[in-house]
Amino acid sequence: MVWRKYQHLSSREKFLVLLLVVVAGLFFVHRVVVKYQLPRYLQAKKELSAESARLTAVREAALKLPLLKEELARAEAEISMTRARLGLTLLDKEAFLGAAQPQDKGVKVLLFRPMEVEKRGSFNVQRFQVAVEGGYPQIENYLRQLENLPALLEIRDLKLAGKEGGNVEANFIVDFYELGDETASKGRAVALLPSGRVDIFLPLPSAGEPSGSKKVSFYGESHSATSPTSLRTESPEVKPDSRESAASKISTRNSEDRTEEAVPGGRKQSETVEYTFPARGRNRSRAGAPWLEGIRVLRNVGPFYYPADRAINIGGRRFEHGIVVDLEKGKPRAEAVLDLQAGYLKLKGFAGVEDSTRNSSGSFILRISGDERELFTSAPLKPGAYPQYIEIDVAGVNRLIIQVEWKEAGPGDYTDLKAALADMFFSTI
């Protein structure tokens, strides 16, 4: 047999065969493992490390989320209050272009060209190159018209040149800061302007009307054009429903007046007609709308009140705004009805048991409804718990109903508790 010739290999031949096997193995490792599998393994390991780092960052951000939500709620409330105070209702380019048309027929627009949008901080600034011609008084009035628009804008690089016939040509640039709010186009956030109008370019209710004539206001209420109520100079409060009786309106304007009201049994009781949450204490002034304590109130059973003598503390966290109601086992429910008139988009804030009654044996459930439609129901909010963040869609809601109900929670030193709605405000964004 041929095989028998190779059964007895010398040491050198055995070494060569072994070397051949090792070289073949190394060739296989290099071609299959090193060239193809190792790079894939290193790439997968690198991606895994990157994903682990990203997961760690997400976890850290999630831990900060409640604090960020609280800061966002405060910032949005400040923005809403600033807009209400300044009367900023022209929030996008289309609304601004419509309002920037000259009211004086003596002003002729030669150029109104949009330029490139700039990013300045958190604002998108739309620039317009403008050229107008007219008499000097008319040009001055048009510049005043632009300056008085309910918008955040800046007029710069103004140049004047004389023209034939005594006219003046004015060239300038308008920087319009877009605030990006959709509520202006949707008709919400109605009473923002000091005059009580959505559009500052609509004439005042008494403008151009003969003395003693009747005029329908922007709220649908018929009144004399020369009456004091035709011009609203108060800050942005929601106007009472036009169907409200005259007696109710008189009570609104004179909330301190006392009225005698008969009750069963022949007794009479004095009652102060108020359309705001009452304040207890005198050390702190109450904020206006859009904070919850400044919203118009149609019904207040409890009552809910604004603690003017102290801040609200829930779970060790301090809040500067909000309302409180006292509950106990024998008086387990309270209710408030707010008049929103479809003026807001969101309700944001916190709810919980105030720390002054953290040893109570009770808890409370919060229910919020809009126009008889349930919007939110909380789990039992217990003493000593952290405040619960709440964000509710109230777009289109006219009457918002807030209800709280006392529930047994466990051992405690007493049954009464203070249910608090803290830093709650209505947002238009």
Asked whether residue 289 falls in the same domain as residue 386, the answer is yes
Kindly state whether residue 314 falls inside one of the protein's structural domains: yes
- The pLDDT of residue 120 is above 50: yes
Cα Rg of the chain (Å, integer): 35
Report the pLDDT averaged over residues 85-93: 58
| CATH number for the domain harbouring residue 289 | 2.60.120.1060
CA dihedral 279, 323, 82, 196 (to 10 degrees): -70
Kindly state whether residue 398 falls inside one of the protein's structural domains: yes
Kindly state whether residue 224 falls inside one of the protein's structural domains: yes
pLDDT digits (tens, 9 = 90+) for 139-174: 888 998 888 887 788 898 999 998 888 899 999 999
Asked whether residue 170 falls in the same domain as residue 199, the answer is no
Query: What residues form DSSP beta bridges with 322?
Result: 422
CA dihedral 57, 60, 65, 68 (to 10 degrees): -80
Report the pLDDT averaged over residues 117-136: 85
pLDDT digits (tens, 9 = 90+) for 192-216: 333 333 344 444 444 344 434 343 3
Asked whether residue 169 falls in the same domain as residue 220, the answer is no
pLDDT digits (tens, 9 = 90+) for 247-271: 344 344 444 444 444 444 444 444 5
Asked whether residue 373 falls in the same domain as residue 290, the answer is yes
Confidence bin at 221 (pLDDT 50/70/90): very low
Asked whether residue 201 falls in the same domain as residue 144, the answer is no
Confidence bin at 239 (pLDDT 50/70/90): very low
Asked whether residue 317 falls in the same domain as residue 405, the answer is yes
The more confident residue out of 123 and 375 is 375
Residue-number span of the structural domain to which 367 is assigned: 274-427
Kindly state whether residue 47 falls inside one of the protein's structural domains: no
pLDDT digits (tens, 9 = 90+) for 391-420: 999 999 999 999 999 999 989 999 999 999
Report the pLDDT averaged over residues 128-134: 92
Asked whether residue 217 falls in the same domain as residue 317, the answer is no
Note if the pTM is more than 0.85.
no
Asked whether residue 288 falls in the same domain as residue 351, the answer is yes
- The pLDDT of residue 335 is above 90: yes
The more confident residue out of 83 and 48 is 48
Query: Structurally, how many domains does the chain consist of?
Result: 3
| CATH number for the domain harbouring residue 149 | 3.30.70.60
**Angle at the Cα of 204 from the Cα atoms of 180 and 215, rounded to 5 degrees:** 125
Asked whether residue 279 falls in the same domain as residue 219, the answer is no
Confidence bin at 102 (pLDDT 50/70/90): confident
Asked whether residue 401 falls in the same domain as residue 326, the answer is yes
Confidence bin at 3 (pLDDT 50/70/90): low
Kindly state whether residue 212 falls inside one of the protein's structural domains: yes
Contact 90, 150 (CB under 8 A): yes
The more confident residue out of 83 and 382 is 382
Asked whether residue 125 falls in the same domain as residue 212, the answer is no
The predicted structure's pLDDT at residue 290: 86
Locate tokens 């380019």: which residue?
Answer: 93
- Determine which of 58-67, 85-94, 127-136, 257-266 has the lowest per-residue pLDDT on average: 257-266
Those residues with Cβ within 8 angstroms of residue 104's Cβ, 6 or more apart along the chain or in another chain: 134, 138, 141, 142
- Integer Cα distance of 139 and 109 in angstroms: 11
- The pLDDT of residue 332 is above 90: yes
Q: Percentage of the chain surpassing pLDDT 70?
A: 72
Kindly state whether residue 388 falls inside one of the protein's structural domains: yes
Confidence bin at 89 (pLDDT 50/70/90): low
- Integer Cα distance of 383 and 379 in angstroms: 13
Kindly state whether residue 413 falls inside one of the protein's structural domains: yes
Confidence bin at 297 (pLDDT 50/70/90): very high
Kindly state whether residue 343 falls inside one of the protein's structural domains: yes
Asked whether residue 216 falls in the same domain as residue 146, the answer is no
pLDDT digits (tens, 9 = 90+) for 37-81: 777 788 888 889 889 888 988 888 888 888 887 777 777 777 666
